Structure 1
Amino acid sequence: MKYLNLFFFCFVLSISFFNCENETINNSNNDLNPSKTYQELNISYGNDTDQIFDLYLPANRTANTKTLILVHGGGWSSGDKVDMDPIKDLIRQDLPNLAIVNINYRLADANNNPYPMQIDDITTIINYLKTNKIKYTISDNFGFIGTSAGGHLALLWSYAFDTQNNIDMVCSIVGPTNLTDPLYLNNTNAELQAMLDLYGVNAEISFLEEVSPLHRVTATAPPTILFYGAQDPLIPTTQGTNLRDKLENLNVTHQFTLYPYGGHGWIGLDLLDTWIKLKAFTQTHL
């Protein structure tokens, strides 16, 4: 699940070449003047070393300023918020009025299952931002962009745990949506199975449904934008198309793109297409 980040990095380099600007970043914890940009890295929200996030606040923000939360991938057991820095840079360049929170979360291993641990971490971050919204001069309205396992977490939290309707939009880029998919239950891919086993070897179907966005989505779900690659060795096309169809049946605002030659990430014009669509969707719904 590491390839997607390289593709975004290359894309950022290509467009930033034509749009380089000097900007002043306020790194002082004592100066949160809303007329100035503000950056604070590695804010702790728990006792674990992985429970940190980076905060980027735009200049001239108000109590209506909305926040995009970035959730990295890595098969629930690896990855880091630095992987999302290229997307963060794109947002700061093209959507400069948004605040950004780029998160780390506790990583799963043989002794620590992803669920509910990682969902609990997202809940803690959301609650932290809501508690400090006056301090940071932001609203309590948020959007998600998640890649791979981060896309799964973003969808699951938005569909099943947003009890106060704080999420205005959610984006999943090659995120798993249904752990009960027959193509998962009967797969022969050792790398894929090792990731799925983090949710339990021979886990009950009822539990796999509980951790699957496809089985948790309702008609009140936020607008959702999905991107998938038809050649992805880890995420079968059905992970995207089945959620697309359910969103359609529920009349949830959504947009779906399947790249015929895309794998677990893509480059070139397909990647440009991803950002154009994601930018427009964010501008409309966040």
Structure 2
Amino acid sequence: MELVSAIDFSPNDQALVFTGSGSKEPANLWVYALGSKQFQKITDSPHPGVNLSALRAPELVSFPSFDGVVLSGWLYKPATGPGPFPTVISYHGGPEGQSGPGLNATAQALVKEGVAFFLPNVRGSSGFGKKFLSLDNGALRVNGVKDIKAVSDYLVTTGIAKKGALGIMGGSYGGYMVMAGVTQYPDMFAAGANLFGVVNFETFFKHTEPWMAAISTVEYGDPATQAAMLRDLSPIHKADLIKTPLLVEHGANDTNVPVVEAEQVVVALKKNNVPVQYTLFPDEGHGWQKTKNRITSTVEIVEWFTTRLK
């Protein structure tokens, strides 16, 4: 168990109840008795067919970016040897999200196939202080994109990742990072997976929910006064540079990042004869809620990367 959330005291203040989970542990309710200092798991989430003890736990690593800012991330390595490995880098959403050592089906499926999996927390991630959180706001977004190269360089130079066998994936803002990566560094990635990602800030602000547009002006910029900057930051305007085969997945009912974002990517790649596979989930919104769709997505992602990186 590595992650603790939803902590509360018992009525008599003699115990804590919380949700505990981790890279090899599904979410369960736990109780910690303050007097005896003993933990007790009081639920047992079902995991039919999954041997939890056979799962791989990640290690926390840190390294400097191009300007000395220290980045970190969670590295899942296969049990097949010392490496270098084909490696998939997965960027979180937010942008102010944070990747942790959770029970990650995609990570576990890939490492079982001999592919390493890395979850970086680049600048703009939460949990590292207010200054770090604001390092990618507005025009500073370009430095967040430069972190993509820093992450890839770290993995290759340390012998973790096999050069020429790097993959990149992410959902929502993580999908933006995918598209920024394959346009800014066209020769860096052998495959990518863009899951409901932003690619065009003009269409994003036009079609997203009003509340999402309002809070996004702080992170990205104001389309009323900073349209030129937002255009420069939009990967769709550099789509002609893309060489990386892409898997694109999106929910038809997504109102946070409307499906027009995915459609632009698919059209651009087909126009330029870049391999693209598009899966539209008609019964999903922003992310996958239904078990059958989660399975479909994970299987597609694992097959996409193992085919192209190995």
TM score, norm. by length of structure 1:
0.77
* Match of residue 81 from structure 1: 99
Distance (whole Å) between structure 1 residues aligned to residue 46 and residue 114 of structure 2: 19
CA distance in 1, matches of 2:185, 2:92: 19
Please state how far the C-alpha of 1:185 moved relative to its aligned partner: 3.5
Which residue of structure 2 lines up, in the alignment, with residue 70 of structure 1?
90
Higher strand proportion (structure 1 or 2): 2
Give, in angstroms, the shift of residue 166 of structure 1.
2.5
CA distance 1:220–1:149, change in 2 (3 Å)? closer
Aligned pairs for 1:120-199 within 5 A: 120-133=146-159, 136=160, 138-162=162-186, 165-181=187-203, 184-185=205-206, 189-199=210-220
Distance in 1 separating the partners of 2:50 and 2:213:
39
Alpha-carbon deviation of 1:83? Answer: 7.7
Aligned residue for 1:97, secondary structure, equals: coil
Q: Report the CA distance shift for 1:180/1:24 in structure 2 as closer, same or farther (over 3 A).
A: closer
1:198-217 matched pairs, under 5 angstroms = 198-201=219-222, 202-217=224-239
Of 28, 44, 48, the match for 1:17: 48
For residue 209 of structure 1, report the CA deviation from its aligned partner: 2.6
Work out which of the residue numbers 113, 116, 124 in structure 2 matches 1:99: 116
Gaps of 5+ in 2: 1-22, 28-44, 125-132
Which structure 1 residue ranges, 4+ long, deviate > 6 Å from structure 2?
Answer: 12-15
Label 1:87 to 1:147 Cα distance change in 2 as closer, same or farther (>3 A): farther
1:263 & 1:18 partners in 2: Cα distance?
29
Residues 89 and 118 in structure 2, CA contact (< 8 A), matched pair in contact too: yes
SS of the residue aligned with 1:122?
helix
CA distance in 1, matches of 2:183, 2:279: 20
Offset of residue 62 of structure 1: 6.6
Q: Could you tell me how far apart the structure 2 residues matched to 1:128 and 1:252 are? A: 28
**1:52-106 Cα shifts (integer Å, max 9, x gaps):** 11222223347662111011111x1x2111287524543346x430111110011
In the alignment, residue 245 of structure 2 is paired with which amino acid? Answer: P
- Residue 142 of structure 1 aligns to which amino acid in structure 2? L
**Whose helix fraction is larger, Structure 1's or Structure 2's?**
1
Q: CA deviation at 1:245?
A: 1.0
Q: Paired residue for 2:63, among 35, 44, 64?
A: 44
Determine which of 76, 79, 93 is the counterpart of 1:56. 76
Runs of 5+ unmatched residues, structure 1: 1-8, 26-37
Is 1:269 the counterpart of 2:292? The answer is yes
Report the identity percentage: 21
**Secondary structure of 2:257's match?**
coil
Question: Deviation of residue 196 (structure 1)?
Answer: 4.1
